[in-house]
Amino acid sequence: MLAADLVALTDQPPFARSAVDGWALRAADTAAASAAAPVVLRAAGAVPMGAAATATVVPGTAVRVPTGGMLPPGADAVVMQEEVEITSETVAVRRSVRAGENVVDRGIDVRAGETLLSRGRRLRPADLGVLAGQGVARVQVTRPPGVAILATGDEVVPPGVRLGPGQVHDMNSAALAGAVRAAGGLPTVLGIVPDERTAVEDALRDATAIHEMVLISGGSSVGERDVVAEAIEALGPPGILVHGVAVRPGKPTVLAAAGGVPVIGLPGNPVSALVIFELFARPVLDRLLGADPRTGPWRTVRARAATAIEGAKGREDYRRVRLEARGTEVWAVALPAGSLVLTSLVRADGIVVLAPGARVAEGDEVEVRLWG
Amino acid sequence: MLAADLVALTDQPPFARSAVDGWALRAADTAAASAAAPVVLRAAGAVPMGAAATATVVPGTAVRVPTGGMLPPGADAVVMQEEVEITSETVAVRRSVRAGENVVDRGIDVRAGETLLSRGRRLRPADLGVLAGQGVARVQVTRPPGVAILATGDEVVPPGVRLGPGQVHDMNSAALAGAVRAAGGLPTVLGIVPDERTAVEDALRDATAIHEMVLISGGSSVGERDVVAEAIEALGPPGILVHGVAVRPGKPTVLAAAGGVPVIGLPGNPVSALVIFELFARPVLDRLLGADPRTGPWRTVRARAATAIEGAKGREDYRRVRLEARGTEVWAVALPAGSLVLTSLVRADGIVVLAPGARVAEGDEVEVRLWG
């Protein structure tokens, strides 16, 4: 992620170049040329590759030039070598050549002073090429924000530990760490905290002291959400900004801040946690990164609903779908709505967002936000 | 990239769980319940979070259970705590509860023995959650293939070096290194080789000895393509498989192999080099990675052409476009066709592929392959 605008230092290309292997000439000299009456020019040397053109094109002459070679002074066009007949001293041109033909003008790609890449740009391979073309070997990029990841829940144990009765493995920490990393953050998995106010508060206080963002995914014991909310509130102002969102899956969400550090309480359920991450945590992370919002994570495709899809009542519904090509059309197959079905995220290609109570009929066009 | 299929070791969830905070009961006990005539059950204990359910539900009783808690033996449904009236010893249920209500059955997400994730899968955040849910803390992944990147061209100098007259900076090595890394390979930039057969041959021989794939982007001096082709051919069988492709941009492409190592000669021009990378090098890299082809790089969106687009004559045309939202529609704005304009890749959101000589009219629907 670029930390500052990148302004072009030099024109790109830095000089007028030939686009082909051929002969640089003055277009006006060839105005009368035809297959029946070729114009014969004097061969007046060659432009070496990777060096200044020393030969000059004067009326009635042509200079050999390689692809990418510098257009010699006096020339305004290049004719391809396949199109001419040469002897050791002459070049016969059998058609009239247009001024500018096969010439790549100086600065046609980039002009010095132009903003080439903006601050917050997530650098792509072509961008690296553009930087290299400017001679830039190093750029200042944003430091990835450190994101602490906590989980609570008395039933939750880390992967790698054998389950006792009634226990489940912590899925959220691994999934959220992957999501943070993919979004450009630097995740630190701090592990599982007992479902107890002081333990959660202590863990959050430590986490907010040395990270730029904290994610805590709740367990699901009775009243557990309150433990997390109380612990967050105890960290000091501004505290909880939002407690509960009208979203399925993901209702029990806490959006808060402790001093300048955003703290997000995510649902314990892994599908909900990942949806809420995309919806609320990723934009915060983008902000911390200084990311250009246009490079956001969700690209959309249009598809037809393979079955009717019922939205949740009173809540915006983020329904996972699988995409399927049928002939030239793309169809969206809705996956199970149940938020406990994590495999619905593994199989999902994207998300369809339904307004509260909305219903999509089979065959209707839907917009699918691509996922992951 | 998973190196082997991941088969589920355990059912997910590993036991029947409650989806809500409430009371586990026998649905049959509530068949006659109504607001006017609630059924009163005896409160017979509670299921602790993260432990086995010790209390059993016998007819006429209910056991308190937290969200995610184990369904106690004897129960077949859970009623939400908000829906009941409790005393210290009783639970009054005011409606009939359906069998299975608020119960998450064992194995509903994943069944032991089922293939959860297939070999070649590019692991996504949700996949990491699924692995963690199975208690899996480590998995075998594919070793990223080492890809050597060479550039030739007497006019080409590395970024960071001041340009002499007629010289340009090497854009391809940086752009291709980024593209290789994004595709899951491990790039090594070997630098610029003089445009001379023995130098190119020596560099390629060294590169093929210790890398799993070699990319060499040509300079553009006269006959340079032949130097690279001759050098590749000298490496031994099978040698050159394809020399020249009917693609714009990217005609001067060499597809070859030296022993078991794929060697791809890419055009010197950076736009062409990146298009040819996507078209020919990335699928080879995917193959080396053992990648699932369904997770390929190009997702497509449908858009309307903002202007007419003329395809190249006799060649498949990979035309860069920028996407623009206009109301609810997506429009594709064609960027300059000239392959020297690298900024067309920086501004591009995707590629429209045109058959040789094809013409798209303004307003026609086109399929755009998302880029980068």
Q: pLDDT tier at A300 (50, 70, 90 boundaries)?
A: confident
Q: Please, is B211 exposed, middle or buried when counting C-beta atoms within 10 Å of its C-beta (0-12, 13-18, 19+)?
A: buried
Query: In this model, does residue B315 exceed pLDDT 80?
Result: yes
Where is average pLDDT lowest: A125-129, B180-184, B309-313, B338-342?
A: B338-342
Where is average pLDDT lowest: A43-57, A139-153, A329-343, B169-183?
A: A329-343
Choose among B129, B137, B274: nearest Cβ to A175: B129
Can you list the alpha helix ranges (DSSP code H) found in chain A?
Answer: 125-133, 172-182, 197-210, 224-233, 270-276, 282-289, 343-347
Cα B53 to Cα A222, B47, B91: the distances in Å are 15, 5, 19
> Are the beta carbons of A67 and B221 separated by less than 8 Å?
yes
Query: In this model, does residue A338 exceed pLDDT 80?
Result: no
Q: Please, is B295 exposed, middle or buried when counting C-beta atoms within 10 Å of its C-beta (0-12, 13-18, 19+)?
A: middle
Which residues in chain B have their CB less than 8 angstroms from residue A84's CB? none
CA A56, CA A67: separation in Å to the nearest integer? 18
Nearest CA in chain A to B369: A301
Query: In this model, does residue B10 exceed pLDDT 50?
Result: yes
Instruction: Report the sign of the C-alpha dihedral through residues A62, A68, A72, A77, in that order.
Output: positive
pLDDT per residue over B263-274, tens digit each?
999 988 888 899
pLDDT number for residue B225: 53
Of all residues in chain A, the percent with pLDDT exceeding 70 is: 94
Choose among A70, A169, A224: nearest Cβ to B132: A169
pLDDT per residue over B17-39, tens digit each?
998 889 999 999 999 999 999 99
A155 at interface of B, judged by CB pairs closer than 8 A: yes
Sequence-separated (6 or more) residues with CB below 8 Å from residue B328: none
Query: In this model, does residue A285 exceed pLDDT 90?
Result: yes
Nearest CA among A27, A17, A23, A16 for reference residue A76? A27
Q: What is the mean pLDDT of chain B?
A: 89
Q: Decide if the complex's ipTM is over 0.85.
A: no
Domains in chain B: ranges and CATH: 1-12+110-141 (3.90.105.10), 17-104 (2.170.190.11), 146-295 (3.40.980.10), 300-370 (2.40.340.10)
Which residues in chain B have their CB less than 8 angstroms from residue A173's CB? 132
To test the contact with chain B by mutation, choose from A346, A349, A368 the residue with the greatest count of B C-beta atoms within 10 A, namely A346
To test the contact with chain B by mutation, choose from A18, A124, A299 the residue with the greatest count of B C-beta atoms within 10 A, namely A124
pLDDT number for residue B173: 97
Sequence-separated (6 or more) residues with CB below 8 Å from residue B202: none
Where is average pLDDT lowest: A17-31, B95-109, B224-238?
A: B224-238
| Best-predicted range by mean pLDDT (A292-301, B121-130, B323-332) | B121-130
For residues B282-311, average pLDDT: 80
Nearest CA among A24, A5, A109 for reference residue B270? A109
CA A286, CA A212: separation in Å to the nearest integer? 12
Query: In this model, does residue A49 exceed pLDDT 80?
Result: yes
Where is average pLDDT lowest: A196-205, B187-196, B223-232, B294-303?
A: B294-303
pLDDT per residue over A103-143, tens digit each?
999 988 889 999 989 888 889 999 999 899 889 999 999 89
- DSSP tag of A312: P
pLDDT number for residue A221: 47
CA A370 to chain centre: 13
B311 at interface of A, judged by CB pairs closer than 8 A: no
To test the contact with chain B by mutation, choose from A11, A102, A128, A330 the residue with the greatest count of B C-beta atoms within 10 A, namely A128
3-state helix/strand/coil string of chain B: CECCCEECCCCECCCCEECCCEEEECHHHHCCCCCCCCEEEEEEEECCCCCCCCCCCCCCEEEEECCCCECCCCCCEEEEHHHEEECCCEEEECCCCCCCCCEECCCCCECCCCEEECCCCCCCHHHHHHHHHCCCCCCCECCCCEEEEEEECCCEECCCCCCCCCCEECCHHHHHHHHHHHCCCEEEEEEEECCCHHHHHHHHHHHHHHCCEEEEECCCCCCHHHHHHHHHHCCCCEEEEEECCCEECCCCCEEEEECCEEEEEECCCHHHHHHHHHHHHHHHHHHHHCCCHHHCCCCEEEEEECCCEECCCCCEEEEEEEEEEECCEEEEEECCCCCCCCHHHHHCCEEEEECCCCEECCCCEEEEEECC
Where is average pLDDT lowest: A174-188, A213-227, A306-320?
A: A213-227
pLDDT per residue over A303-331, tens digit each?
899 999 999 899 999 999 988 878 777 88
Instruction: Report the sign of the C-alpha dihedral through residues B277, B278, B284, B286, in that order.
Output: positive
pLDDT number for residue A28: 97
Query: In this model, does residue B262 exceed pLDDT 50?
Result: yes
pLDDT number for residue B251: 79
B323 at interface of A, judged by CB pairs closer than 8 A: no
CA B259, CA B237: separation in Å to the nearest integer? 6
Q: How far apart are the CA of A18 and the nearest CA of chain B, in angstroms?
A: 10
Half-sphere exposure of B317 (CA within 13 A, CB side): 22
For residues A82-89, average pLDDT: 93
Nearest CA among B267, B311, B37 for reference residue B152? B267
A167 at interface of B, judged by CB pairs closer than 8 A: yes
Query: In this model, does residue A145 exceed pLDDT 60?
Result: yes
- Structure token digits, residue A125: 């391979």
Q: pLDDT tier at A45 (50, 70, 90 boundaries)?
A: very high
> What part of A 55-84 touches B (C-beta under 8 Å)?
66-70, 81
